[in-house]
Amino acid sequence: MRKIAGAAVLMAALCSAAYAQTTTTTVETARVLTSLPADAVTVTNYYKQNIYDPSDTKIGDVADVLVDKTGRVVGMIISVGGFLGAGEKDVAIPFEAVRVTQKDGKTYLVVNATKDALKAAPGYKYDRTKTQWIADGK
């Protein structure tokens, strides 16, 4: 019985060591960037930024940036309408619809839509339990 218990302890120790080694190896071989892509921008350039129409009228702001399971940015949630956060509606637009432009040394986000067109679009609300945006249904 003592030999069996000793063998079990030895096997558990070997398995723990093998697991620790596997875990360490995984961390050590994690992929990292050794340089940044020249055209890369940060999400800060979009998140919580104002959105304007082509005539430089503010139509909303970016409430969220949507990323698919592969890591590709696919869309944005734009808050439109309301006053000081009351009565706002959150709508989704494709990421490709947003254009970055510069004016007077400042960067602006522009979408080819009006505030009224966005307010008429289907609305979304953030479900904190699912941690995702869902159709508002209003």
CB 62, CB 51: distance < 8 Å = yes
CB 85, CB 27: distance < 8 Å = no
The H or E element that residue 102 is part of is: strand 98-103
Q: Sort strands 89-94 and 58-67 into parallel, antiparallel or unpaired.
A: unpaired
Displacement of CA 94 from its chain's centroid (Å)? 13
Give the CA distances from residue 36 to residues 27, 76, 110, in Å, rounded to whole numbers and listed in that order.
Answer: 21, 24, 26
Helix (H, G, I), strand (E, B) or coil at 72: coil
Query: Is the overall model pTM greater than 0.85, yes or no?
Result: no
User: pLDDT (tens digit, 9 = 90+) per residue, 29-66?
Assistant: 678 888 988 988 888 888 999 999 999 999 999 999 99
CB 110, CB 54: distance < 8 Å = yes
User: pLDDT (tens digit, 9 = 90+) per residue, 76-98?
Assistant: 999 998 766 677 899 999 999 99
Instruction: For residue 83, give both structure tokens.
Output: 């006053």
